Amino acid sequence: KKANIGVVGLAVMGSNLARNLAHHGNTVAVFNRTYARTETLMKEHGTEGDFIPAKTIEEFVASLSKPRTAIIMVKAGAPTDAMIEALADAMEPGDIIVDGGNSFYKDTIRREKAIRARGLHFVGCGISGGEEGALNGPSMMPGGTEESWKTLGPILKSIAAVAEGEPCVTHIGTDGAGHFVKMVHNGIEYADMQLIGESYDLLRRGLGMTPQQIGDVFDEWNKGDLNSYLVEITSEVLHQVDAKTGKPFVDIVVDKAGMKGTGTWTVQTALSLAVPVTGIAEAVFSRGLSGMSEQRAENARTPLTGPNGDLGIDDADKAAFVEAVRQALYASKIVAYAQGFDEIQAGAKEYGWKIDLGAVARIWRGGCIIRAKFLNRISEAYDNVAAGKQEAFSSLLFDDYFTKAVESAQEAWREVVAKAALAGIPVPAFSSSLSYYDGLRSKRLPAALIQGQRDFFGAHTYGRVDQPGAFHTLWSGDRSEIQTA
Ligand code: NDP
């Protein structure tokens, strides 16, 4: 018997993915550079389904039925390139190489081009959900050709998470589209986590609530519009007590947030596409600030002055403020997601991808870290446009549901941002999202003044509100205006 799918790289992600595939009726060829890992997988889980372990890449490729399809789950970067090369050498035209790692979409575009030139298919597939997702159902974002999707689609659908009866996988677009969307997914995840962090900080420092009490608040929030995996685990983390000290777990953790780079890629890409993803950017910068050891140590020695973080809210008014924070969180979250979808749209335009944004929202409803009830609202918005039930909108913020949601939350949102500023609690994602919203709804922006400055020092020219063309004022001359185009 031959395998209909193979997995290369059997560390946490690869072995869980291989097991998931085997659990769903696939015959799975498995290969790992170090054979001991393959043996461990077979010894511990070999009876869970049909596996064909291989000692060499040639043996692995020979055990696959045509078109041979192999998913690579090795360390990102050079190891992934090495495995792609080795597989391409051993495979034949028409075969499919899938990179399931967190590769940068530009690498995927490059690799797809090179592999396609050799007559094979290359699919960059974003996989979200961590090790648990890989085993029990991830959300997957494959790119590549339509032809490769015909073979790969049914296999991926067999192992994907299921949300409201639908598998959380869809063909995103050609070459790097899948990894691009996965990258933005991770960026949105950063923003979502930062917004939750700011909410916690407001209740903790601002209202003096305990982590347990705040955990209870998140439990409540999880029952409404904010229902999501991240809100759910926030409550779990806040309720956790450190066994060693008896203190709240969150108080014994060093307050420096790690990152592995996908958030940074999202922001770098957004900058190059000129898409203002302020929520995601503030989230990445906040993790950066948390890691500025030298500056934070200096502040510990000679503190910068300012208010102490107490919001000064009476006990009787605390519940109302907690509700205001919930609304601010929801409004900011809408902005962060709207910005993320803007980035996907800009990427699609730049690289010629046809991306169904409603489908993207749908496959994020299960399996991945940002899974949330709220994504139903986003998919509905895009699907309504696709079905002609609603006019196309340029930003999710102009969709009727979201327009109304932000409208009803905004008084609370403004109050929270204003009070946080007065109390000295940093809320960069809350406040930048609000500024973005206000920027978007401004009839006149100070960009006019900036154009004046640019024309003054660099003769960069400006447009006039009352006439087409480009103009320059002779600032160092008689200050008359000339038309330049
Ligand atoms: P690691 O990233 O830790 O990679 C270990 C695997 O890579 C091992 O199988 C190892 O083989 C193999 N490897 C390393 N170098 C080479 C090389 N030069 N040639 C061949 N094989 C090599 O494993 P993970 O399972 O954590 O992640 C796999 C991929 O999935 C990564 O790209 C990661 O970014 C991505 N990913 C991870 C998620 C997670 O939650 N961990 C979530 C989503 C994606 P050996 O045993 O021989 O050392």
CA 448 and chain centroid, separation: 33
Mean pLDDT score, 335-363? 97
Average pLDDT, the chain: 97
Percent of the chain with pLDDT over 70: 100
Rounded Cα gap, residues 272 and 10, in angstroms: 36
Q: Is the pLDDT of residue 97 over 90?
A: yes
Of the candidates 210, 206, 432, 438, the residue with the CA atom closest to the CA atom of residue 325: 206
The alpha carbon of 11 and the centre of ligand 1 are apart by a number of angstroms equal to 6
Pocket test for ligand 1, best of 7, 8, 10, 13 (most atoms within 8 A of CB): 13
Pocket test for ligand 1, best of 74, 107, 139 (most atoms within 8 A of CB): 74
Beta bridge pairs of residue 258: none
Mean pLDDT score, 143-168? 97
Which residues define the annotated binding site for substrate? 102, 128-130, 185-186, 190, 260, 287, 454, 460
Rounded Cα gap, residues 366 and 359, in angstroms: 12
- Residue 76 Cβ contacting ligand 1 at under 6 Å: yes
Atom from ligand 1 closest to the CA of residue 101: 32
Mean pLDDT score, 374-383? 95
Q: Is the pLDDT of residue 424 over 90?
A: yes
The alpha carbon of 99 and the centre of ligand 1 are apart by a number of angstroms equal to 11
Reported as a pLDDT band with limits 50, 70 and 90, residue 469 is very high
Pocket test for ligand 1, best of 7, 30, 33 (most atoms within 8 A of CB): 33
pLDDT digits (tens, 9 = 90+) for 99-118: 999 999 999 999 999 999 99
- Residue 12 Cβ contacting ligand 1 at under 6 Å: yes
Q: Catalytic annotation on 189?
A: yes
Residue minimizing CA distance to atom 11 of ligand 1: 33
Q: Which of 239-243, 387-391, 458-462 has the lowest average pLDDT?
A: 387-391
Residue 174 is encoded by which pair of tokens? 């050609």
Of the candidates 231, 284, 259, 307, the residue with the CA atom closest to the CA atom of residue 432: 284
The alpha carbon of 128 and the centre of ligand 1 are apart by a number of angstroms equal to 14
Reported as a pLDDT band with limits 50, 70 and 90, residue 479 is very high
The alpha carbon of 75 and the centre of ligand 1 are apart by a number of angstroms equal to 3
Rounded Cα gap, residues 417 and 336, in angstroms: 16
Over 397-445, what HEC string results? HHCHHHHHHHHHHHHHHHHHHHHHHHHCCCCHHHHHHHHHHHHHHCCCC
Rounded Cα gap, residues 396 and 345, in angstroms: 11
Helices 177-201 and 229-239, interaxial angle, to 10°?
Answer: 40
Rounded Cα gap, residues 324 and 330, in angstroms: 10
Rounded Cα gap, residues 338 and 400, in angstroms: 13
Return the percent helix, strand and coil in the chain, to nearest 5: 55, 10, 30
CA 9 and chain centroid, separation: 24
Of the candidates 182, 167, 218, the residue with the CA atom closest to the CA atom of residue 369: 182
- 281, 433 contact by CB (below 8 A): no
Rounded Cα gap, residues 25 and 304, in angstroms: 61
- Residue 250 Cβ contacting ligand 1 at under 6 Å: no
Mean pLDDT score, 322-348? 98
Of the candidates 219, 225, 203, the residue with the CA atom closest to the CA atom of residue 318: 203
Query: Could you give phi then psi for residue 122, rounded to 5 degrees?
Result: -125, 125
Atom from ligand 1 closest to the CA of residue 131: 40
Q: Is the pLDDT of residue 218 over 90?
A: yes
Atom from ligand 1 closest to the CA of residue 129: 42
- Residue 98 Cβ contacting ligand 1 at under 6 Å: no
Put the strands of the sheet holding 27-31 in their side by side order: 50-53, 27-31, 5-8, 69-72, 96-99, 121-128, 139-142
Integer angstrom CA distances of residue 157 from 142, 161, 171: 11, 8, 11
Percent of the chain with pLDDT over 90: 99
- 170, 356 contact by CB (below 8 A): yes
The alpha carbon of 32 and the centre of ligand 1 are apart by a number of angstroms equal to 10
ipTM exceeds 0.90, yes or no: yes
Which residues define the annotated binding site for NADP(+)? 9-14, 32-34, 74-76, 102
Q: Is the pLDDT of residue 76 over 90?
A: no
- Residue 32 Cβ contacting ligand 1 at under 6 Å: yes
The alpha carbon of 35 and the centre of ligand 1 are apart by a number of angstroms equal to 14
Helices 78-90 and 105-117, interaxial angle, to 10°?
Answer: 20
At a CB cut-off of 8 Å and minimum separation 6, what does 483 contact? Answer: 469, 470, 471
What confidence score (pLDDT) does residue 473 get? 98
Of the candidates 34, 242, 44, the residue with the CA atom closest to the CA atom of residue 22: 44
Rama region for 353: left / alpha / beta (φ>0; ψ in -120 to 50; rest): beta
Atom from ligand 1 closest to the CA of residue 78: 18
CA 80 and chain centroid, separation: 22
At a CB cut-off of 8 Å and minimum separation 6, what does 436 contact? Answer: 276, 278, 279, 335, 339
What confidence score (pLDDT) does residue 182 get? 98
Q: Is the pLDDT of residue 356 over 90?
A: yes
What confidence score (pLDDT) does residue 7 get? 98
- Residue 82 Cβ contacting ligand 1 at under 6 Å: yes
> What radius of gyration do the chain's Cα atoms show?
26
Task: Point out the catalytic residue in the list 157, 164, 182, 298.
Answer: 182
Element (H, E) at 473: strand 467-473
Q: Is the pLDDT of residue 309 over 90?
A: yes
Task: Point out the catalytic residue in the list 112, 189, 198, 343.
Answer: 189
Q: Catalytic annotation on 182?
A: yes
